[in-house]
Amino acid sequence: MAAKLSSISRTIPWSLLLRAGIFGAAWLLLPFWLFFLAALILYFLPVFQPLRLILPFALTVFFAGILSPNFWAAALFAALFFLILGIKNLTLVNRMAAYETALFLLLFLAYLNLFFHFPNSGRAAVLLLSGLAAAAYALLLRNAARYATFPKEWSPRHQAVIFGLAGLLVWQWTWAVLFLPLNPFYQTALLFLFAAVLTEMFLDHLAAELGRRRILGYFSAFVVFASAILAANPWQL
């Protein structure tokens, strides 16, 4: 992950940093309707392939609308907008790494909110929300794959199966984690870990790089970090 982040941009795009900073500050300081107008202006102007990144942008604005303003969330939204705008305007060099990072940040926001509100929500509502989150993950993963270079041309049907399976597995894992007696932060960490490993595995499969050694490495990393998360949770008998 560190290597990917370091390769996103070779030079500092100051204008992009400024626009991202304005985005975060507008959310923190302005009423939401003014922030929403500012976000639309910052994203759509100048007009350049605006629909390509519309899903992550819409999700970012959605989460901005449901979270209470605070500095750390503003910094997170600014970072998200930096990545989204950098990909859209072709400013960032490694757009695949940038999109994947944005995917993980959005996933973190989605499931942290889901796990925090689960105790106060009905089962049907959680079923619907977790399904929508998994579907959004599958769509974001599909869009991330567009920025990768694969050694062979996969059929649309094969890719649909891959991304649909990824969304289904995340949905199933969400339900497993929901009923564990864990703090919402640890639930989010377990879901995030699973989705991160799953994302790398599916992208490696499309790149024809998913061998036995790499599968073993992913599985070992998942077991180690999942064990650490479970051990850190304050269990009560």
Tell me which residue of 86, 94, 82, 88 sits closest to 51, measured CA to CA: 88
Give the per-residue pLDDT at 122.
62
Q: What are the pLDDT digits (tens) for 24-83?
A: 999 999 999 999 999 999 999 887 888 889 999 999 999 999 998 999 999 999 999 999
In-domain check, residue 120: no
Give the per-residue pLDDT at 93.
81
Q: What are the pLDDT digits (tens) for 68-126?
A: 899 999 999 999 999 999 999 888 888 888 999 999 999 999 988 888 876 656 667 77
Name the domain boundary from 73, 93, 113: 93
Whether residue 3 is predicted with pLDDT greater than 80 in this model: the reply is no
Determine the structural domain holding residue 164 and report its residue range.
133-237
| CA 53 to chain CA mean position, Å | 13
Name the domain boundary from 66, 93, 120: 93
- Average pLDDT on 124-135 reads 85
In-domain check, residue 10: yes
Q: What is the number of structural domains in the chain?
A: 2
Q: What are the pLDDT digits (tens) for 148-197?
A: 777 777 788 888 898 999 999 999 999 888 888 888 889 899 999 999 99
In-domain check, residue 83: yes
In-domain check, residue 198: yes
Does residue 6 sit in the same domain as residue 68? yes
Give the per-residue pLDDT at 4.
53
